[in-house]
Structure 1
Amino acid sequence: MNTLTTLERRGMAAISTPGGKMLVVAADQRNGMKAVMNDAPDGPGSISAEQLYDAKADLVRYLGNAAPAILLDPEIAIPRVADEGVLSRDTALVVGLDASGFDTVDGLRYTNFVPGMSPRKVRDLGGDVAKMLWYMRPDLQDAGSRVADEIRDLVTACTEEGLLLIVEILVYRLEDESEEDYSAAFPRLVADAARLSAECGAKVLKLQYPGSADASAAVTEAAAGVPWAVLSAGVDHETFIQQVETAVANGAGGAMAGRSLWKDSLAVSSETRKQLLTTRALPRLQQLEAVLDGTLVAS
C-alpha cells in the first residue's frame, strides 16, 4: 500500500461519502459531452464552447453539487464554475489534467497534458484533487516503460504539492488484436494495470470494471492496498449499479460515474437540461450513493 500524506488523506475524505466510499461525478468530457447533446439544430459539431460551458455549469448545479466531488476540465469548466459561484462549497473539485484524445506510437496509446497544467496549477484553479488518465497495456509495458515513468513523475510532483492524484487507467484493444482475444485478456489486463500503477506509486486508482466478482477480487489483490474506484465507461445506469455492487463487494472503494448518470440528460436547451438532470440524473446519483454506502442493495 502506498501511504497517503495528511493532505492526501484530506483529499480522499473530500471525494468520499459519509460511509467512506469514493463517489465522483465525472464531467471532464468535452467532445463526448457534445455528442450526447442531440438537440443542437445543426448537430453536436455545431455546439460552441460557450454552450458546452452552460451545459457543464448546469450539470454542476443540478447534479454535481449533490455529490461529494465532481471531476471537471480546465479547458471549458474551470475556473468559471468556481469564480461564478456555481460550484457548491461542500462539493470537492477534482481537476482533470489530461487533454482529449491520444497519440499512437508503435501501436501504443499515450495521453497528453492539457497545456499549462501542473499540480501547482490545479491548486491555483481551486482544485482539491487532481486526475490524470493513462492508457496502458501491461502485457507490453513494464516498470521501465514511458507510461510507468510518467505515473511515477506525476505522483511525486503531486505529493510534493500536497495534492492527491487519482490515476485513471484504461486498457484497450490493439489494432491487430481480435475482439475475442482482447475480451479473454481484459480481466487480467485490468488487474495487471492496477499492479503496475501501484508499483509506480499510485495512491488512488480509477479503473474499468473487470467483468466479474472474481476479476474484481483479483484487481483488489493486485492493487495491494491502493483504493480503486470503478468508472462507468458509458454503460447504462442499471448495468453500472450492478457492476459497482459486485466490485465493492470484492474490494473496490467507490465509483466515479459520468455518462451512466447524465448521458441522456444533457441538451442545448437549458430548460430541458434542468428538467432531465433533476428528475433523471439526480435520482441515479442518489441510488449510486446508497448502494456504495450499503443502505440500498441493487440486486
Structure 2
Amino acid sequence: MAQTLTPGKWRGLRQASVKGDVFTILAFDQRSSYRKLLPAGSDFETAVTIKSEAVSTLSLYASAVLLDTEYGLLAALHLARSCGLLMALAKSSYSGDTTYRRVEFDPDWTVAKIKRMGAAAVKLLAYYHPHSGALAEEVEAVIRAVAAECQRCDLPLFLQPLSYSLVPHVAKESVEFARTRAEVVRETAARLSTTGADVLKLEFPVDVSYESDRSVWRKACASVSAASKLPWVLLSAGVDFGTFAEQTRIACQSGASGFLAGRAIWKEAIKMPADARQRFIGETCVQRLQTLSETAKTQARPWTDFYAPPPLSPQWMREYAAL
C-alpha cells in the first residue's frame, strides 16, 4: 500500500519530477571531481561561471538539478522556471580512513537553510557498506537524524549511499570487489530504505568493466527494486554516456524511477574553451539529457506507485505542524 506523504514532501517530489511521475534529474553538485575537470589555473569565479552556464542551459531539459553550496548558488538562481532544485547537505568527502568512512557535514549548512532557499528536496551523501558492523549502524543513525529534520521541515530526502571496500588492499575498481557489488548494492537498498529517506540514489549494481552480459545487469537491477521499499534513481558515477544510457534503460525497465546523473552528461565540456564548451553543452549535452529523459518517461516506474498525496480535510491546516 502506498505511503501517505505530507504536503511539502508531495509537492517537493512533484517539483523534482516530470509528467508521469518519474525523475529526470541533472546532478551538478560535484566539487572535488569538478575541480579536477576544470581548465588549469581556474579560479573560484571561473568554476562558478562554468557551472552556472551549463546549468542555465541544461535545466530547460531536466525535471530538477542537484547543486552544491560551494559553486552552485549562482546556478541555483538561474535555473529554468520549470526546473526543481535539489541541494546537497553533506560534504563530498568523508572523515575516517578509506575502509572506515563517516558522513561529513559543514556546520554552517543545514536542512533548514535548504528549506529557506526554496529547494524542492535535500540530497544526503553517505559512504556505506552494509557489512561494516557498528559503523553501518552509526551511519544509519545519522541518516535517520537527517530524515527526521527533513520531516520537520517537510522536505523530501534523496539518499545517495556510495559503496566502498572494507579491505585495505582491495580497491573498489578491482575484480574482487566487483564480485560482491550486486549483493552490496541490493543489501544497501534493503537496509537504507527503512531509515526515513524518500528516494534512493543508487549505483548501478554491476561493475560493467568485468560483466557485459545484459541479462546479468537486468537481474541485478530487478533484485535492487525488489529489495527497496522506496523509489530509486540511477547515478552515473562518471561512466561514459553510451554505457550510462544502456544502464539507465535496463534500470528503468527493471523498476527504477528515473535517473539523477551528472558527469556522464557534461564532463567533456568542462575543459573546453568557452565557445566550444557552449556549443557542446547546447548540442551534445542537451541531446544526451533528452535521450535519457525519453527512456525514463517511457520505461521508468512512477514514484507515485510508492506514495499517495495527503488526504483532504477541512482541518488540514490545524493538523499541519508549524516549523
TM-score (ref. length: structure 1): 0.89
Structure 1 residue 130 and structure 2 residue 122: aligned? yes
Name the SS for the 2:201 alignment partner: strand
Conservation of the 8 A alpha-carbon contact between 1:266 and 1:277:
no
Q: Which residue of 1 aligns with 2:92?
A: 100
Aligned match of 1:112: 104
Deviates more, 1:257-266 or 1:194-203: 194-203
Please state whether the residue corresponding to 2:152 is helix, strand or coil.
Answer: helix
Q: Tell me how far apart the structure 1 counterparts of residues 7 and 131 of structure 2 sit (CA, whole Å).
A: 34
State which drifts further: 13-22 or 104-113.
104-113
Find the aligned partners of 1:190 and 1:216 in 2 and give their Cα distance.
9
- 1:148 is aligned to 140
Q: Does 1:215 align with 2:208?
A: no
Select the residue among 196, 202, 207 that pairs with 2:197.
202
Aligned position for 1:18: 19
Counterpart CA distance in 1 for 2:243 and 2:222 is 19
The reply to whether residue 47 of structure 1 matches residue 51 of structure 2 is no
SS in 2 for 1:99: strand
In structure 2, C-alpha distance between the alignment counterparts of 1:221 and 1:285, rounded to whole Å: 27
Task: Select which of 254, 258, 275 maps to 1:254.
Answer: 258
- C-alpha offsets along residues 216-245 of structure 1, whole Å, 9 cap, x if unaligned? 111111112x00000001111111111111
Please tell me whether residue 59 in structure 1 is matched to residue 64 in structure 2: no
Instruction: Find 1:230's aligned residue among 234, 240, 251.
Output: 234
CA distance in 1, matches of 2:80, 2:107: 27
Structure-1 residue corresponding to 2:10: 9
TM-superposed deviation, 1:6: 2.5
- Deviations, residues 241-272 of structure 1 (Å, cap 9, x unaligned): 11111111111111011000001122364322
Q: Is the 8 A contact 1:234 1:260 kept in 2?
A: yes
1:3–1:190 CA distance, 2 compared to 1 (3 A) = farther
| Structure 1 residues 173 and 107, CA gap change in structure 2 (3 angstroms) | closer
Alpha-carbon distance between aligned partners in 2 of 1:50 and 1:162, rounded to the nearest angstrom: 33
For 2:32, give the aligned amino acid.
Answer: N
* CA displacement 1:117-159 (0-9 Å, x = unmatched): 1111002222111101001110124697110001100011101
The residue number in structure 2 matching 1:264 is 268
Letter of the 1:195 partner, please give it.
Answer: A
Structure 1 pair 2–235 and aligned structure 2 pair: CA distance change class (3 A):
farther
Unpaired runs of at least 5, structure 1: none
Q: 2:169 aligns with which of 140, 156, 176?
A: 176
SS across alignment from 2:18 = coil
What's the counterpart of residue 79 of structure 2?
87
Q: What residue identity is the alignment partner of 1:191?
A: R
Q: Cα deviation per residue 1:170-219 (whole Å; 9 max; x = unaligned)?
A: 11123233623311110000011111111212221000011211111111
SS for the counterpart of 1:26 is: strand
Q: Which residue of 2 aligns with 1:33?
A: 34
> Matched residues in 2 for 1:295 and 1:109: separation?
35
Q: Is 1:245–2:239 an aligned residue pair?
A: no
- Distance in 2 of aligned mates of 1:167 and 1:127: 16
The CA RMSD over aligned residues, in Å, is: 2.0
How far the C-alpha of 1:8 sits from its partner, in A, is 0.9
Q: Find the partner of 2:63 among 68, 72, 84.
A: 68
**Most deviating of 137-146 and 91-100:** 137-146
Task: Provide the residue aligned with 2:291 in structure 1.
Answer: 287
What TM-score comes out, normalization by structure 2 length? 0.83
Query: Hey, what does 2:187 align to over in structure 1?
Result: 192
Instruction: Flag structure 2 segments of 5+ consecutive residues without an equivalent.
Output: 207-216, 301-323
CA distance in 2: counterparts of 1:187 and 1:3, whole angstroms: 31
The alignment of Structure 1 onto Structure 2 pairs a total of residues equal to 286
After TM superposition, which residue ranges in structure 1, 4 or more long, deviate above 4 angstroms? none
Q: Which amino acid aligns with 1:81?
A: A
Whole-Å separation in 1 of the counterparts to 2:192 and 2:9: 17
Name 1:166's counterpart in structure 2.
158
- Paired with 2:32 and 2:127, the residues of 1 have a C-alpha distance of 18
Q: Deviations over 1:29-75 (max 9, x none)?
A: 122122223xx3xx2xx221110000111111111232110000012
Structure 2 counterpart of 1:277, from 277, 281, 288? 281
